[in-house]
Amino acid sequence: MLPVEHLHLEHVLQTVSVLESVILRSFGPEGGQVLFIRDTGQAMLSRSGTHILTALRLDHPLARMVVECVLKHSSVTGDGSKTFILLLASLLRMIHTAACKGTNVSHAYNSRKAAEAATARHLADKLLAFALEELADVIAMGVVPYGYCISWEDFTAKTQSPAHTNNNCVQKLLASFFLSRLGRTHCDFISNLTCELLSHWKFKNNQPPFTLQFVNDNLPALHTPVSGFPISCSRLIEGQVIHRDFATPCPQTDHHPVKAVVFTRYLQPKLLSAGEVLELGYGEQGKERSIVQFSAWAERSLECVIANLQSLGVSVILSAVKQSAAVLALAAQADMCIVECVSEDELSLFAQLSGARPASDCWMIESDHVATLTFCRPILLGAHRYVFLSHPYSVQVKPCSLVICGPGEGQTDQYACAFRDAIHMLPSKRTLQSNKNTSLEMENQIASAPPFQKCVLEPGCVIPAGGTFEFLLNHALLQHHGRSCSVSDDTNMGIPAVSQLLANVLLSLPRQIYSHSPRCFLQTQTRLLKADVSSKVFMLDLGLESVSCKYQLLLAVLQCVSSLLQVDAVLRTQTALRTQSHRLPNISWEGTEDEAEE
């Protein structure tokens, strides 16, 4: 019989508390980096909650379930993995305390645990129902008036002049994000570089949401990681980088345009399909004669293809696959250069920018398959040589590539992930569309939501960072509870109302942010609660964060709690459920600054 592990509320809380103890090391603006030592001896420094959680070797299925919920949320909003764990742990503690108070201690152990579990599930379900039905209204009334909604027009105006972005909302939003992910040292530099990237990729006659979606979709082809240099060496270069080297000598094209064509298949003419057999004739002489004729025909066919490309003026061939030695030899004789094994992302971006159609049939090459380039030459980035090409400047966009530098491969990858998540976090219509899929209830409510509630759901609303959202929502939830005329049965039993419970949970985040200075916690809370809406609290120099991302975070945490408390037991099987992981023999806490990464 397979072993069964019965779970109680304490087990769930203990599991999440272990994850919290790891995340706390890097949380907040004063948080440090976490050092991981892998089985191979490789060291990894990170402040990213996603990197930290995915690097852990988690044997317990409940912990894997929590991490999976965190990763799904961060893939939608691009942020909030550390805050997710902290809110989850605080909420479970509050639920555990409330469940213990509402249970008769004179009952037997098993009966008492069963009663606590039932009370905890009841609370979790009521919290989730409250969040789906009323939380958006509470945020709209008590939080949104203190914030600022970034319009698409403002976003366009801000990013067109990167030199003047120090005081605009987009730059502050990015700076706050990079502060929590990468530290204070480089957050302003990276946020300005992100604004420059967006300004270069602004398509004329299209709204900023199109630019954000385009950059987000094509970021794998738009950036090049370079290890061995400080992050301050990161920069933009005008043109497109193909992350492959020339398979044949590159052309001399510095002073005249270049014509290129993209092949998605082999340039060698297709001779046989899978399973087909070539009839070579009868007898030894017939067999030899057929082989020679077949080889001669294949060579003449390839020569015809190369000649056709020459007649179209093609001198550069971008190939999605590795070509044969015969193709490379004939192309070199014809002064054509070939770039092999180009990624699908890079070929897709090339097609979008050039307007040329990728070719799959080497016999059907026409003028619409040919793209005109300003130049095509090699470029050395770090220790690697790549292909660097430039599309003619059009009225639509001015293409550029982002070079992301880092001291080591692991840190360079973290910087690249931070850029990707920052683009995903910025307000766009795609983000709103993704947020609609969070729950079926929200999908049904969005179309008919009143204007103030739609303001919460729109991702363009921002609020000062540093616990402002939590302070304001805590106050709004307590007022909401005070305005409620009826007293629930749960309150009479000693269990707090869900609005009170959620309000208390929210304060755990600013307490952690200001853990180094409790007086600062009280001063900030008092200042916010005494501030008037007309005083424009959002102008405080605290950075900015998205109200929509915060709202989605609360929903995701409450949904996770409700799912966790539905688990009664763990059934152990003999199949390994997770094989891609790293054991952590040593975890240490680095300093609050970023000297270690240099």
Longest dimension (CA), the chain: 103
Q: Which CATH number fits domain 152-238+403-424: 3.30.260, 3.40.50, 3.30.450, 2.60.40?
A: 3.30.260
The alpha carbon of 155 is separated from its chain's Cα centroid by a whole number of angstroms, namely 21
Cα angle 277, 279, 285; round to 5: 140
Which residue is associated with the tokens 């995915």? 54
Cβ atoms 102, 9 nearer than 8 A: no
Look-up of token digits 């590539």: 401
- Rounded CA-CA distance 343/452 in Å is 45
Q: Can you tell me the distance from the alpha carbon of 585 to that of 39, in angstroms, rounded to the nearest whole number?
A: 8
SS3 387: strand
Count of C-beta atoms within a 10 Å radius of residue 23: 22
- Tokens in use for 549? 């991302």
The residue ranges of the chain whose pLDDT is under 50 are: 156, 158-167, 271-278, 280-283, 286-287, 430-445, 447-450, 452, 485-487, 492-494, 579-598
Distance CA(305)–CA(311), nearest Å, equals 10
Domain ranges of the chain: 4-149+427-597, 152-238+403-424, 240-399
Report the run of H or E that residue 69 belongs to, with start and end: helix 61-77
Task: Please name every residue paired with 34 in a beta bridge, in sequence order, or none if there are none.
Answer: 46, 589
Tokens of 476: 């709004």
Specify the residue for token string 């103890």: 21
Helices vs strands, H then E, count in the chain:
23, 18
What is the distance between the alpha carbons of residues 426 and 174, in angstroms, rounded to a whole number?
8
The label of the residue with tokens 């090391």 reads 25
Distance of CA 228 to the CA centre of its chain: 24
The strand pair at 148-149 and 461-464 is best described as antiparallel
- The sign one gets for the Cα dihedral 97, 102, 107, 111 is negative
State how far the Cα of 233 lies from the Cα of 410, in Å rounded to an integer.
17
Complete DSSP assignment for 553-584: HHHHHHHHHHHHTT--EEE--SS-S--S----
DSSP E strand boundaries for 245-315: 258-263
**What is the distance between the terminal CA atoms of the chain, rounded to a whole angstrom?**
54
Q: pTM for this one?
A: 0.79
CA–CA dist 168, 44 (Å, integer): 34
Q: Quick one: pLDDT at residue 540?
A: 55
What residues contact residue 564 under an 8 Å CB cut-off, 6+ apart?
A: 12, 62, 65, 66, 92
The closest alpha carbon to 353, from 318, 400, 291, belongs to: 400
What b/e readout covers 545-584, taking b as 16+ CB neighbours within 10 angstroms?
A: bbbbbbbbbbbbbbbbbbebbeeeeeeeeeeeeeeeebeb
Asked if the 240-399 domain carries CATH number 3.40.50.300, the reply is: no
- The residue to which tokens 């290890």 are assigned: 227
Task: Give the angle 87-91-96 at the CA atoms, nearest 5°.
Answer: 150
Cα–Cα distance between 134 and 121 in angstroms, integer? Answer: 20
The encoded tokens of residue 375 equal 């130049």
Q: Which residues pair with 224 in a beta bridge?
A: 403
β-strand partners of 36: 44, 587
| Contact predicate 56/22, CB 8 Å | yes
361 φ, ψ (degrees, to nearest 5): -115, 115
Distances (CA, A) of 417 to 194, 217, 225, 525: 13, 14, 11, 33
In this structure, the chain runs to a length of 598
Q: How far is CA 536 from CA 144, 147, 148, 363, 422, in A?
A: 11, 8, 9, 66, 25
Distance CA 442, CA 9 (A): 29
Domain 4-149+427-597 has CATH 1.10.560.10: yes
Q: What's the rounded Cα separation, in Å, for the pair 172 and 190?
A: 11
Amino acid at 501: L
Is residue 594 within 8 A of residue 95, CB to CB? The reply is no
At 580 the pLDDT is 45
Q: In this structure, how many other beta carbons lie within 10 angstroms of the beta carbon of residue 109?
A: 7
Angle, helix 81-101 to helix 61-77, in steps of 10 degrees: 130
- Crossing angle for the helix pair 187-200 and 152-159, nearest 10 degrees? 100
